[in-house]
Structure 1
């Protein structure tokens, strides 16, 4: 039975990590037009869970230090004397493709979780007979 719980530990850590990634990606997308906003970056690390199983977890969220887009709009309240202000460094195309990748990875982990649960239930049914 411990193999099933190990499998569930790995898949739940993957689900949590991808959910965290999706949350930060959605924050990036919603703040794409916020002046001075720096996109949040999430990376994964190997964690050693109980029972000698390697799981995944997210590292500390970092801010992307690439240069902010300079936007020309003299009427904007944050514009300097030359009419420019710092926009965000969020690229919607990258964020959307990362969100799609995270969603598919989440779905794959969910399928593994469901399969493990089904196999465990089937084993319990066999043992009852």
Structure 2
């Protein structure tokens, strides 16, 4: 595989991984007020082929945060215990918004890298035609 093809492949895998990460962040934000919801996280993993790193990445297994759930006082809530508390979610909107911005910017950086490699490949073909 040529260097340009490898860089384009790495960019595509990065964009796919960041899109999957953004879906997780979106789920977390959507469930901020869901009682008992635990924040979902996933780490990036290198892709190996024939015992060597390919330069591509993927989003690893989804894990649930083990942070303590927020205790919410609302005696009128159907899930409230005898003290009037129930377990809320452990999603922090500030963290989720920061993760979303980071994923978006990383996606855009991979998109620019893909576009640059595509332009270089096109320019190379033009040079070879002459």
Match of residue 119 from structure 1? 120
Contact map agreement 2:17 2:57 (CA 8 A) in 1: yes
The Cα shift of 1:49 comes to: 4.6
Query: Residue 108 in 1 paired to residue 109 in 2?
Result: yes
How many Å separate the matches in 2 of 1:90 and 1:52?
A: 34
- Matched positions, count: 129
CA 1:49/1:114 → structure 2, altered by over 3 Å: closer, same or farther? Answer: farther
CA 1:128/1:52 → structure 2, altered by over 3 Å: closer, same or farther? Answer: farther
How many Å separate the matches in 2 of 1:91 and 1:47?
A: 31
Residues 20-40 of structure 1: per-residue CA shift (max 9 Å, x gap): 100000100010000000000
Residues 74-105 of structure 1: per-residue CA shift (max 9 Å, x gap): 00111111100000000000000011011101
Extract unaligned runs of 5+ from structure 2.
none
Query: Residue 34 in 1 paired to residue 38 in 2?
Result: no
Q: How does 1:51-62 map to 2 (within 5 A)?
A: 53-62=54-63
Secondary structure of the residue aligned to 1:81 is coil
Runs in 1 of length 4+ with deviation above 3 angstroms? Answer: 49-52
The Cα shift of 1:53 comes to: 2.1
Structure 2 length as normaliser, TM-score? 0.94
The Cα shift of 1:52 comes to: 5.8
Extract unaligned runs of 5+ from structure 1.
none
Contact map agreement 2:6 2:55 (CA 8 A) in 1: no
- Superposition RMSD in Å: 1.5
Query: Residue 18 in 1 paired to residue 44 in 2?
Result: no
Match of residue 97 from structure 1? 98
Structure 1 length as normaliser, TM-score? 0.95
